[in-house]
A and B are shown apart, each in its own frame.
Chain A
């Protein structure tokens, strides 16, 4: 069984469109994250949620809106897509505290035409 699953794996769309990426984890973790990996492979935190509550919001444009309907799901909605949004988006989850590592999904490659 996949621990952290993201859909879709690939997303190709045009500038100006609105799109969503879904993430689900079956590990029973309390915290979920979204990371963005740019074309140079640099990974940076975007958001984190703990038990459906937004904890981290790292200077991300308002066009990005995470939503957590329950602690097992964290979706990412992006409005008015721009060329610079092209990247790989990773969802991750972890249990609170300790050295427990974050478990990552397989990533969603978003390409803006």
Chain B
């Protein structure tokens, strides 16, 4: 079974600065997907960024980028120019690439989350 570890329960960053949230995972699979989700106090689960394991290029979405190190099984999230609206819980998630025709067997396995505080 896959596991996802987020070793930083809490992080804080000054507004406009850069912060990196760490995530490591354990899997024996070669193909899979990785995601970062954001959960603000409103409780919504919002997709921040995704990465396909077969792609070497790191994904970027505006101020959000990842550092994907497949050999090290590491998937960190970098937030540049931090804004007050970035304050939230951030969850790293793993999803298998199901080669078998059993649709629907693609659950997300989540890490325990990192609470990010933005200091004005």
Q: Which residues of A contact B (CB under 8 A)?
A: 30-31, 33, 35, 40-45, 48-51, 53, 55-56, 58, 88, 90, 92, 94, 96-97, 99, 101-104, 106-107, 109
- Name the segment of B13-21, B62-70, B78-86, B100-108 touching the other chain: B100-108
Inter-chain contact total with CB atoms closer than 8 Å: 69
How many B residues have CB within 8 A of the partner chain?
Answer: 25
Given contacts A40-B112, A41-B113, contact A31 B43 (CB under 8 A): no
**Is the beta-carbon distance between A94 and B106 smaller than 8 angstroms?**
yes
| B21 vs chain A, min Cβ distance (A) | 15
**Is the beta-carbon distance between B105 and A101 smaller than 8 angstroms?**
no
The main secondary structure of chain A at its interface with chain B is strand
Residues on the A chain within 8 Å of B50, using CB: 99, 101
**Is the beta-carbon distance between A56 and B110 smaller than 8 angstroms?**
no
Q: What separation, in Å, do the CA atoms of A90 and B109 have in the docked complex? A: 14
Q: In this complex, what residue of B is CB-closest to A41?
A: B113
Q: In this complex, what residue of B is CB-closest to A102?
A: B108
Show 30 residue pairs from A and B whose CB-CB distance is below 8 angstroms, ordered by the A residue. A30-B103, A31-B103, A31-B106, A33-B107, A35-B108, A41-B89, A41-B113, A42-B112, A42-B113, A43-B108, A43-B110, A48-B104, A48-B106, A49-B104, A50-B103, A51-B103, A55-B102, A55-B104, A58-B107, A88-B43, A92-B108, A96-B104, A97-B106, A101-B47, A102-B108, A104-B44, A104-B45, A106-B43, A107-B44, A107-B45
